[in-house]
Amino acid sequence: MAFCLIAAGVPSELVVAPGAFHGFDAVAPETGLAKRFTAAKIAALRRAFGADGAPT
């Protein structure tokens, strides 16, 4: 899906977490990988909605 969005010119990011399965961040949210993944999701949403603290 991400590749289709990117190819269509939709601003998108693809984060790959090698060795992780779908939903891993909900099953094991306290792991380092899940914490980094969640931080990446939050940062992407902040950038997308202009809430990253950068002047607009």
Retrieve residue 14's tokens.
């693809």
At 49, phi and psi to the nearest 5?
A: -105, 10
- How far apart (Å, rounded) are the C-alpha atoms in residues 54 and 15? 22
For residue 28, what pLDDT is reported? 96
pLDDT tens for each residue of the chain, 56 residues long:
888 999 999 988 888 899 999 999 999 999 999 999 999 999 999 988 987 665 55
The candidate with the shortest Cα–Cα distance to 20, out of 5, 36, 4, is: 36
